Structure 1
Amino acid sequence: MTVTESLPVVDAVRRSLEIDEQVPLATRGPGGPGRVRAVLTLTTNIALAPARLWPLLTAPRELAGWFGPIDGELREGGRFRAPGGAGGRILQVQEPHRLGLTWEQPAGEDPLLLRLDPEDDGTTLLALHHTALLDAEEFARTGPGALALGWEIALLALAAHTDGWHATCLEPVPVPTPEWLHGPQGARYVRAWAVRWAAEAVAAGVDEATARRGESETVRRHLGR
């Protein structure tokens, strides 16, 4: 990746949202509330080759250094538990370029795909694709941001841990501790992320008033205000 100017840290990640279709709930009558299938994609360049980045995403000891403790077997067919009550199953491993898994929370089980593509300058184009089946009413209330911000925080933590954005961002990359996230700088990041995901919602066809309500609700849920 050739960088011609320094980016703000919040823009070191590129975002996209696809809303594929509305899927009726089997338990609801015709015309009733359904589910929205949303595909969230976060892409960034990390200043490590795929072979060096791969263990940071797949080895429990390495993950503990920036993501949090992971229990289980991170091999194809293995199951794992992650911080915050999440867990899942490893579906596909193509070292060091592709990791497919399920991301399971009380709300449901979603496919998650990580792709690590080599760049000519020795960096890695890291793409995270999260396909979520969301309650339509909840999606209208929160938009994509409530789900996406967890991955924004994770990528920020990875970049801080690896110094992976040093060629992209001249400003220091903060470590997103809970204390930082609820401090003044963290609150600015949360609001900036929420604004950007609201913009992606509008680009995907959500009307602006609904997207802005989702932006406000995302901030409220993450900051409590």
Structure 2
Amino acid sequence: MAVTQSPSVVDAVRRALEIEDVGDHDADGRPLVRTTATLTTNVARSPAQLWPLLTDPARLATWFGPVTGDLREGGRFAAPGAHGAVRRVVPPHLLSLSWEQDGTVDPLLIRLDPEDDGTTSLRLRYTTLYDRARFDSVGPGLRALDWEIALLGLAAAADGWRTVCMTEVPTPTPAWLTGPEGREMLRAWSVRWAAEAVAAGVDEGTARRGERATTSAYLD
């Protein structure tokens, strides 16, 4: 079954969005808003099996891209398009990072909790600050889709969604993302993050504007 016919691939991830006006302004006097995107999924591997895919540079390179540096607690690393620091490590259950990208330093938390059936509940939480005008223009999806792509890559590398999706999970290579199935997936992710924005209190028109901006940024 093609990905475009399998919404279960898209909906293998559960999403939640929190939005908070922080009562502060950036250096240019623009009001700031804090957003926290939470992505949760079940992966048909134990935490111990998933842990090397998240912390071993050689394994990370197979699905996320080259990551260099010191991935121990207190170390610093460089990743595709970003760099950061390792704040806390609790193998094989918790990885807390600072994610430094486009001039921001944002907390990123990944939790791996074992389930009774031998699978793992994986939760990724990413918090960032926007100036309010930019958030109203681009919405939460512009950053959240990076993590959607990452989780799809992890699931493909671990073969962790096959029993959930009942179909082969694609590897999100650049060629796939620019092809028809990848473009359809990117649109579907944008729609879902717009829906989360509405659920978090953003008015429909603003959320849909952000949806269009996110889709355009990835597809154009």
Please indicate the TM-score interval, normalised by the length of the shorter structure: over 0.9
Aligned equivalent of 1:127, options 123, 127, 140: 123
Alignment of 1:1-225 (within 5 A): 8-25=8-25, 27-28=27-28, 33-84=30-81, 86-224=82-220
The alpha-carbon deviation at position 137 of structure 1 amounts to 1.2
**Are the counterparts in 2 of residues 7 and 170 from structure 1 also a CA contact under 8 Å?**
no
**Are the counterparts in 1 of residues 45 and 120 from structure 2 also a CA contact under 8 Å?**
yes
Q: Report the CA distance shift for 1:134/1:123 in structure 2 as closer, same or farther (over 3 A).
A: same
SS in 1 for 2:163: coil
For the residues of structure 2 that align with 1:184 and 1:51, how far apart are their CA atoms? Answer: 35
For the residues of structure 2 that align with 1:56 and 1:23, how far apart are their CA atoms? Answer: 39
Q: Which amino acid letter does the alignment assign opposite residue 49 of structure 2? A: R
**Are the counterparts in 1 of residues 26 and 131 from structure 2 also a CA contact under 8 Å?**
no
Match of 2:3 in 1: none
For the residues of structure 1 that align with 2:83 and 2:26, how far apart are their CA atoms? Answer: 25
The alpha-carbon deviation at position 93 of structure 1 amounts to 0.5
Alignment deviations for residues 107-139 of structure 1 (CA, whole Å, 9 cap, x no partner) = 300000000000000000000000111121111
The alpha-carbon deviation at position 26 of structure 1 amounts to 5.2
For the residues of structure 1 that align with 2:133 and 2:103, how far apart are their CA atoms? Answer: 14
> Equivalent pairs: percent with the same residue?
60
SS in 2 for 1:168: helix
**Are the counterparts in 1 of residues 18 and 35 from structure 2 also a CA contact under 8 Å?**
yes
The alpha-carbon deviation at position 23 of structure 1 amounts to 3.4
Alignment deviations for residues 45-87 of structure 1 (CA, whole Å, 9 cap, x no partner) = 1111001111110110110111000010000000000012x01
**Are the counterparts in 1 of residues 26 and 32 from structure 2 also a CA contact under 8 Å?**
no
Mean CA deviation greater in 132-141 or 212-221: 132-141
SS in 1 for 2:14: strand
For the residues of structure 2 that align with 1:122 and 1:53, how far apart are their CA atoms? Answer: 12
Could you tell me the TM-score, scaled by structure 1's length? 0.93
Runs of 4+ off more than 4 Å: none
SS in 2 for 1:81: strand
The alpha-carbon deviation at position 172 of structure 1 amounts to 1.5
The alpha-carbon deviation at position 150 of structure 1 amounts to 0.3
| Count of equivalent residues | 215
Alignment deviations for residues 149-187 of structure 1 (CA, whole Å, 9 cap, x no partner) = 000000001111111001101122111111111111111
Root-mean-square deviation (CA, aligned residues, Å) is 1.3
Could you tell me the TM-score, scaled by structure 2's length? 0.95
SS in 2 for 1:187: helix
Mean CA deviation greater in 168-177 or 146-155: 168-177
The alpha-carbon deviation at position 188 of structure 1 amounts to 0.5
Q: Unpaired segments of 5 or more residues in structure 1?
A: 1-5
Q: Which amino acid letter does the alignment assign opposite residue 117 of structure 1? A: D
